[in-house]
Structures are given as C-alpha cells and as structure tokens.
C-alpha cells in the first residue's frame, strides 16, 4: 500500500479510514520530509514544483490535490516525471461556490455587512428611510467571466432573481445559451454592459490580473465585482483605486492576490465584502473532496485510473 504524505489535516475521517485500510499515513510533517513517499496529498496552499518532486524521489507516483484548481502544482514537471496529478471537482463544490457567489452578491448590493456592523456597535436607533440604501437585483445584468460548471450554475440561480445574464469564455456555448436564455459577449462588451461582474476562470498566465486598471476602466460606472475564482485574477491595487474613486460601487472577494495576506487598503473600505476563501466550505463539498482525494490514492495503489486526472497524458508512462 502506498506510503502517503499529507501536508495538512483535512475535514472528516478520511485519513483515519485510509490508515484503517493499512496505509502508512504521515500528516502535517514539514515538506522537507517527503523523501521516499509514494503518494502526496496536497492543499491549494502547498506549492509543489519539480524540486519538491525530486526531493520525494522516484517513489512518488501521485499528487492528489485537495482542491478543484491546481495552479499550485507544476503539472508539466509532474508529467515529465511520470507522476499522476489529480484534483477534486464535483457537483457539491459547484453548488457551494455558486451559492457563495450569490451570498456575496446579495451581501454587497444590499449592504448587509455594513448594516450588521452598525447594529453591533449600537448605531441602530429605530427605522429610518434613508439608511443603508442598496440596490435591487431584479432587472439587473450579471456578467459571468468563465462559463464553466460553476459559472453555469451561477447563471441558473440568476433566473430566480430575475437577473439577465451575459457571459464570456473562449468559445460560445449555444446549447447553454438556448437553455438559460443567456448571451455571449466579448470581454470588453461584457464589462461595459454588466451591472455585476462575477469571475469564474482558472488562474493561468492568461488570466493573471485579467481584471486590471485597463479592464476596470471599461466596466460600467457604479457596477460591482465579485471574485470567487482565484485572487491573482484581480489586480487589487487597481481595484482599490476604482473603489475609492467611485467608478465601482463595490466589490466582494473570497480570494486574494497574495493569500493569506490581504491588501490593507481593501480592509479599510466600507464598500467591500471580504470572506476568507470559504466559497467551497460546506460539509457536503468538503466530504466529497476528501472522498475524491483519498479515492485517487487508492486507485493508484490498485493500478487503476483515478477519476479526476489533471494530466491524462501521463497515464501510459506513469511510474509503477
């Protein structure tokens, strides 16, 4: 059975179950002690490059990433070494992130966090007609950047609020357009059109700081930005500038450019809602992620192909 190195504890009893099956499991040891292990279970906060893979040595067969994204792993380096890389996408995660996207959106446009803070510090003196006035969602336009599984689910939920949806991705999705009544636009046109822009793209060289000074300037005056994708998709300095100038009415962020560090200027703004990278933090999503992460390791141990291989080209030349 594969000797398994787990960088940090994960929710649930999945690691205990793995141990009960007879696997040797090390949890929370420094990465420098990874040498000689056959399986590596990582979190998105773990940077796994070729040097770390070489430190583990020729025994390493699989990197099971407890996350949907895998920008923390040098997948090319893993493929070159015959190491299988897996991740943990699922409907449960899609539901969690899409729901959190709408939780952030509602909190932002209805100023829920500001109002909550005012009540807690004793500022509430009775009903008044002109405090914490927000905006209604009905008849607004949502611009979804990245219409993958999560973006599509966000679009489905939008129908219930009476929100129109436009989207951008590399290529149009005619069937989804027909089903949901949404419209494909270029990124520039989407930014000019949308009252709310929601980001759902992976982090790549192409999407790093996709939302920057130039693209923010193209956004509709008084619009909102929501990011539950990856922090570096947004240039936070440019965002702060747009929020302070009033060009953007507000922003809600679950992810940050330099996690876990958060731009202190963002923290000081009232028209910002911030959550600590918890979009997928539901019991259902975490259970599914743990199940998938462990299942991938067990599959490799049985010489079976895991369900979610990030680098499928490695399979025929994988380490055995």
Catalytic residue numbers, as ranges: 230, 259, 277
- Distances in Å between the Cα of 266 and the Cα atoms of 60, 62, 105, 175, 209 are 41, 38, 17, 39, 16
Instruction: Extract the tokens encoding 147.
Output: 């219409």
Rg of the chain's alpha carbons, rounded to an integer? 22
Angle made by CA atoms 308, 62, 282, in degrees to the nearest 5: 50
By C-alpha distance, which of 313, 308, 310 is closest to 89? 308
Largest CA distance in the chain: 70
**E strand intervals along 67-195:** 84-86, 141-145, 164-168, 183-184
**E strand intervals along the chain:** 4-6, 25-27, 39-43, 62-66, 84-86, 141-145, 164-168, 183-184, 196-199, 223-227, 248-253, 272-274
- With 0-12 / 13-18 / 19 or more C-beta atoms within 10 angstroms meaning exposed / middle / buried, residue 173 is middle
By C-alpha distance, which of 118, 119, 136 is closest to 270? 118
Phi, psi of 7 (to 5 degrees): -65, -35
Residues 6+ apart with CB under 8 A from 3: 23, 24, 36, 37, 38, 39, 59
By C-alpha distance, which of 281, 292, 279, 278 is closest to 14? 292
Residues 6+ apart with CB under 8 A from 51: none
């Amino acid at each position: 059975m594969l000797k398994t190195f787990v960088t940090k504890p994960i929710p649930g009893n999945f690691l205990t179950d793995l141990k009960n099956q007879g696997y040797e499991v090390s949890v929370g040891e420094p990465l420098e002690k990874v040498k000689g292990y056959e399986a590596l279970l990582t979190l998105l906060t773990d940077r796994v490059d070729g040097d770390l893979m070489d430190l583990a040595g020729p025994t390493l067969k699989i990197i099971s990433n407890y996350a949907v994204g895998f920008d923390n792993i040098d997948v090319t380096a893993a493929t070159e070494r015959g190491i299988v890389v897996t991740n943990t996408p699922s409907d449960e995660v899609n539901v969690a992130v899409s729901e959190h996207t709408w939780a952030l959106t509602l909190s932002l446009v209805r100023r829920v966090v500001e109002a909550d803070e005012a009540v807690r510090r004793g500022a509430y003196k009775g009903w008044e007609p002109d405090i914490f006035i927000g905006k209604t969602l009905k008849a607004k336009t949502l611009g979804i950047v990245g219409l993958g599984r999560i973006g599509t689910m966000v679009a489905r939920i939008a129908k219930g609020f009476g929100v129109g949806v436009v989207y951008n991705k590399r290529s149009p999705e005619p069937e989804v357009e027909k089903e949901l009544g949404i419209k494909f636009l270029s990124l520039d046109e989407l930014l000019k059109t949308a009252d709310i822009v929601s980001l759902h793209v992976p982090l790549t060289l192409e999407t790093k700081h996709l939302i920057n000074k130039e693209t923010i300037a193209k956004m509709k005056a008084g619009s909102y930005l929501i990011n539950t994708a990856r922090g570096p998709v947004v240039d936070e300095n440019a965002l702060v500038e747009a929020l302070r100038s009033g060009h953007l009415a507000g922003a809600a962020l679950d992810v940050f450019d330099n996690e876990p560090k958060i731009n202190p200027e963002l923290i000081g703004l009232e028209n910002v809602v911030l959550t600590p990278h918890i979009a997928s933090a539901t019991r259902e999503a975490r259970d599914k992620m743990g199940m998938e992460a462990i299942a991938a390791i067990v599959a490799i141990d049985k010489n079976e192909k895991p369900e979610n291989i990030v680098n499928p080209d490695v399979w025929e030349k994988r380490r055995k």
